[in-house]
Every structure is written in C-alpha cells, then in structure tokens.
Amino acid sequence: MLTPENSPKVSIEVEMKKSYLDYAMSVIIGRALPDVRDGLKPVHRRILYAMSDLKNDWNKPYKKSARIVGETIGRYHPHGDSAIYDAIVRMAQDFSLRYPLINGQGNFGSVDGDPPAAMRYTEIRMMRISHELLKDIDKETIDFVPNYDESTVEPSVLPSRVPNLLINGSSGIAVGMATNIPPHNLSEIVDALTALIDDPNLTIGDLMQFLPGPDFPTGGIIYGVDGIIKAYQTGRGIIRIRAKVDIENEKKKGSGGEIIVVSELPYQVNKARLIEKISELIKSKQLEGIRYARDESDRRGMRVAIAVKKDYQAEVILNKLYKHTQLENTFGIIILAIVNNRPELLNLKQALVHFIDHRKLIIVRRTRYDLRKAEERAHILEGLKIALDNLDEVVALIRKSRTPAEAKQGLVETFTLSEIQAQAILDMRLQRLTGLEREKINAEYDQLLKDIAWYKEILGSEQIVFNIIKDELAEIKEQFGDQRRSQITSDTKQISMEDMIIEEDMVVTISNGGYIKRTPLSVYHSQHRGGKGKTAMETKDQDFLAHVFVASTHHNFLFFTNMGRVYWCKVYDIPQAGRVSRGKAIVNLLNFTENEKLATVLPVEEFTPGHFVIMATKNGLVKKTDIIAYSRPRTNGIRAINLVPGDELIAARITDGTQNIFLASCLGKSIRFHESDIRASGRTSRGVKGIKLGAGDRIVGMEVLSYGETLFVATENGFGKRTSINEYTLQARGGKGVITIKTSARNGLVVSILLVEDDDDIIILTETGKLIRIHVNNISKISRNTQGVKLMDLDEGERVTAAVRLPEKEESKDPELDNYPKQQLLIKE
C-alpha cells in the first residue's frame, strides 16, 4: 500500500516534460497531420472505413450523415460528433477538395461561408474515387490495429491507389508544427509518378515539367513560379493567387462605365466576406471609382460584378482591389506529413517516392495474399480431381463409413490426401459429378496454375511491380483525370498607375479647411503683373486656400505636418477636380491626428541615398536627415522631427549635401548658411538653431539656394520684389541674419519666399481663394533693403497667404488671348 512516506518521488519538471511530449505526439500522429501514404488524417480514414463497413458505396442509396457519424464515434473515433461531421462536410465540398471523397445530398455549405445543415438532415455516400483508396483492403495489404476499446480493429493506413496527399492536399496545426499542402491535378500527378518510376534520377526541375504547380478546386490564377519551385525543393514556399476576372462594358445606356466580373476566386476565399470588404472600402472612401459590388452568381457559375465609375479605368481599380482585398491572396505551402510514425518535411520528389514505395508494398502484399489463396484453391482442386478420377472407390468408401470423421480419415489414407482435400471432397455437391462440372474444375485448375506462375513472377521482379503501379495509375487517370482549373503564369509586373496615367504636371491645391485636389497645370494660362486674379478653388466661409504645389503625376509626395510627422502619397492618388472645385477632404487620403495640419509637401521622383531632407521650425531650428529614413512611412504616418512644446514644423526641402540654406522670418529677417553646418541626424532628433529670432518673430519660409536664381519675397498686403541671392552673404548658422524686405505698414508681414529664375511663373494666392499667375521677368529685381512693388490688387481686408513657383513657362494655347490688354486677366473661365 502506497503512503505519503513510501510513494515514489517525481520531479514536476520531468513529469511536465514527459506529459507534454506525450500529448504533443498524440496530436501530431493521431489528429493533425496526414499520413504520407494515403494523405488522410485518422478522422478521415475512420470515416471512410466506417462507410465501407456499412456498404455506403457510390452506387448504393444515400445514408443519413448522423448514421455515419454515430458509426464512426461508436467504433473508431471517440470524439465529438461535430468534429466528425465537420470532417465529413469538408470531404463533400467541391470547393474545399479538388476531388471530393464524399457525395453529399443536402446543404453542405457554400463558398459564401454558409454553414451546412445539421447532420440529421443531410445524406451521404462515398464517391467513386473513395473506393480506390479502400481497394484491396481485404487482401492483407495493410496492418490493422485495435480500436480505442479493443472491441474491433481499424486500418492503420488505407491501400490508396490514388495519390491523395497531393491531389487533395491537407491542412492542420499540430503542436509546434503545421502542414498546409495545396491540392494538385490528378492527371499531372500521375504523369509525374510515371516519369519518376521510369527514371528515379529525375530532379525536381524535371518533375515540374509534368507537374507545374498546384491546382485549386476554385480555379484562380497562380502568379509566379518562384514560390512553387521553392516549395517543391524545400517543402516550404509562398505562392500568390489572384481571382480570374474579365472586364466588360456596361450594357446600360448612358452609363459608359466598365464592370469588373469575377468568375473564380483564390482558394479558401469567402465570397460574401470579399463583397462586404469591398463595400466597406467604398464606404470609407479608401477605394475611389466604384459604384457598387454585388453577387450575381447563379446555377451557371460564380459572377461577382464590380461596377466602375465612368471617369475611372477598370485596370487601375482592379489593381487596387488586388492590393486591398482577397482578390489576390497568398497560400503558404508546408509539405509536412507523417512518415514512419514521425512528422517529416518533404520536398516534391520525396512525397512522390513515398507514395510509390507505399504502392510497391501494397502490390507485393496483395500478390502474396493472392498467391496463397490460389495455392490453397489449387490444392483443393487437386483433391477434387483425384476424387473424380476415382469416383466409384470414393463413393464406396464414403457409403461404408459410419461417421464423417471415419470417411475423412479413410479418404486421407486411401488416396494420400490432406485433411483439407478430404473435407472438400466430403463437402462436394453431387452436381459436381456431371461432365460439365468436371470440365469446369479442370479449367479452373489450369487457370490457377497460370495465376500462380504470374504471382511468383511478380514477386520475383521489381520491374513488374513498377509496371503494375504504372498500369493502375493509368487506369486512375483515365477514370478520374480532368483538365487543370488553376492557371499558372509567370510573375509579371502589376499594372500600376504609372502604366495607366500620362505623366503631366499637376497643380495640387490644399485649403486651410482641409480640402485637397489636383488640376492639370495646362488649365492655368499666364497673366501680367497687377491683375485681379480669378478664383482657383471654391471655398466656404472661414476657409481659404493655404497651399499650392506643382509636381508630376508620377512623383511621390511627402506630406509634412506642423506636428512633425510625415505621410506618403502618390500624386495620382490625390483626387482630380476642376479649377473652381473645392476638391475632397484630405482625411480621405491621410490619417491626420487631432490638431494636425499640413506644413509642406515635397514631390520626390525617387528616394536616393545620400540626399537629405532639411527641415525648419517656427522657432528657427533646422534639421538634416537622410531621405531614405522617410522612404517607407506607415499608413498613420511616422515621426519626421521631434518638436518641443510650442514649436511647429513650417518647411522641408530636399538637398544633395552641398547646398546653401536660406531662412526668412515674418519680420523681414533672413540668413544664409551652408548645409554642412548642420550635422546629419536621425529621424526623431530635434535639430539645431538655424537663426536667432527676435521677440514676436517667427520663420515663414526656407529655401535651398542654387546658382543663378533670385529670391522672390511676397508680403501679406500684395507687395513683393526680387533680389539677387548674391546680396545675401554666407554666414555661420545661428546668427541674427540680415534684412530681406522692409516690413512697413504698406507691406505688412512677410508671408512667403521663393527661389525663381527669369523664365519662371509665380502663382500668388489669397485667403479668399483668388489666384494670379505672373511671369517672373515682369517683377523688378531690386536691392535687399527695399519695400518692393505691387504684385496684386487686394480687396479691403483681403491678404495674401502663399506664393508658389511654377517650374516651366507655358505658352498661350488660345490665339484670342493675344488681343487682350496687358493688364487684362488671361485665365479662361
């Protein structure tokens, strides 16, 4: 009797390790991973064996699913009924298995994610291909093991004439490992197996000539072969699958739009959730240009219609759908299976070789069984032939025997028969004594001798065994083979906006209220100094035009905010609108936080190492950081500069490391220094002092100086001037600077500085949304310490808010404009 004193002492660490390993192996071997030979997990194997026991064959009436579930639970698989029924459902779904193993009648779910009906409502029977997994199971081809309560036995593996592991694939999560084997085309697998039998030295590359890649039940298009090659060579790889789509013209009159029609989805993508996701993206304005997305599927097949707005291109919308939805999906391949009761990661050739070895063993064991049965039958027929040749003596001996045992013993002793032969003679019916029956016995015996010779020949030649495997595979291919459903294409470049949109300069305008748009630069024609200007953006009360920039549609935009964050966007992603349109709210493009406002935008053609972003803050700090640090912002932005409380980022520029920096303040002060005075620092650094500001002063602009340019200054009252940059001497960073323009009562405060050349144009903006475009050579070049000239007539209370340089001079495209007076506005309505 065990007591606390004499009970064994066990370390809890040792016990935990042992118990967990036992649990892990139970999950790995008995639940989550398929066997490499038949491609089945225990639950699937037990379901099929239970159906076979119940004669639930493909050509017999259906049986209730609950009947099969009960039989499986009671005899082989003592787990929950829902787990077993879920396995049955998956084996019956033609969108889950490439070659379904169960023929279901009733609701077994849908590609929309609809749940199946309860097991009491549905009916099932085996598919014809399932019989090929069980064929020859009664010929001692596999080992049987006791079931969970040792009341009966169950197969440890199925004979499986079908390479089920690869044609139907498998997925499962064990302890510390997982498998995710994609389905393949049966015909291609058979071709690869046949080729490998003929030449065992074939490489994986050679095998891919017969088996190019997975073949999913839902079709779709597999993009790129690199992932397939890696998976087949190493057992792990990732492939990219896209939906099959067509673009149709909408038949509705006057619509003029296109419709993206989805007819095939990537494997395991839920159609209903896909449509919901597209609708959410439309509602949240993340996907512009889509009118609706709806399911038009019917008995003829799948059809998801996505209607594109008239002014948008379907290819561009489709590219965004690939990016943001499961119209493009990835499939991570992990070819992990149970080999000799151990989990093993396999490459393609190993998986095929294991199946060939399995079939070789099955055929050998089947042949041994057939040989033994044939020899046993031949032995009996030899006894029957002896009895027929000595019929009178046999009859006389039996008649005079008092008991069957005495007759049996007499036959053994008299005719030198075995007991089995003697018993067969005693069991022989009288009709076998006819001449016809005698001929049948002789014919059967002769055939058995031929069969025995054939069986021995099989067992004596490995090549014959391989030929039998090939013949059986050829039969399987002929009976169940079909065409590939998933198309495989080389990895091609995605259709990008650059491919679809003509490169042209755009005027990007942003209002103080947060509205943004882009308009082709060609909309604006030149006018002369002193004009009134026309409205460039329609504004509401208390809103005004705050920023305007010019950049190519193909450039990147870095959006720097006053709070020191940076966001990334393509110019073509900014909504295009007419000259007087307000545009759209900037929150549809950028995830600004509360109180965050746009400070500046930098068009970037490409992110080149060795180039820098120079930033200036309101309080006169400057900072230099390599541009690569800003090449991959996140959706919610990244930190561009670390600001102290009360300071704001007011400008950012791109340099090559060799240029001069110019800062200007609202009180007309400025400083010029070389950027080498600023040590390059990290993205989240604070920066150093650029200029020493007086009381009430603040920085309004920063420029990077280039040779041959002049500096343009604009004040809030519509005055300004040009000054040669040579008048601004190079100083050390951190000084008080020199005067740029007199900030008298007439001029007001400085609002903007620009570097310009003689053939540039300048756009000047007011807070009410007016815009005027001026040739730079119409503005006088005067000295630094002066007040400047009038640039724009302003209404009472109106003030200038910004100015921007246009990089290219534009010639007039309207001959009527040449007849206008010099001061007449030349912007067309």
Separation between Cα atoms, residue 448 and residue 433, nearest integer Å: 21
- Which of helix, strand or coil describes residue 630? helix
Give residue for tokens 């900030």.
Answer: 743
8 A C-beta contact, residue 805 and residue 755: yes
**How many helices (H) does the chain have, and how many strands (E)?**
18, 41
Separation between Cα atoms, residue 723 and residue 741, nearest integer Å: 10
Of these residues, 121, 322, 524, 820, which one is catalytic?
121
What is the DSSP-derived secondary structure letter of residue 643? P
- Report helix angle 391-400 to 404-415, nearest 10: 140
Structure tokens at 293: 């997305």
8 A C-beta contact, residue 565 and residue 559: no
Radius of gyration of the chain (CA): 42
Structure tokens at 422: 């003697």
- Angstrom CA distances, 61 to 69, 392, 701, stand at 17, 52, 85
Count CB neighbours of 7 within 10 A: 8
Separation between Cα atoms, residue 599 and residue 652, nearest integer Å: 8
Residues 6+ apart with CB under 8 A from 133: 38, 40, 48, 101, 158, 159, 160, 161, 162, 164
| Of 640, 740, 731, residue with least CA distance to 697 | 740
Question: Amino acid identity, residue 782?
Answer: I
Separation between Cα atoms, residue 296 and residue 302, nearest integer Å: 7
Separation between Cα atoms, residue 623 and residue 687, nearest integer Å: 4
- Which of helix, strand or coil describes residue 649? strand
8 A C-beta contact, residue 38 and residue 355: no
Residues 6+ apart with CB under 8 A from 745: none
What is the DSSP-derived secondary structure letter of residue 13? H
Residues 6+ apart with CB under 8 A from 68: 47, 50, 51, 54, 56, 88, 124
| Of 600, 651, 605, residue with least CA distance to 627 | 605
The answer to whether residue 121 is catalytic is yes
Residues 6+ apart with CB under 8 A from 444: 377, 381
What are the catalytic residues? 121
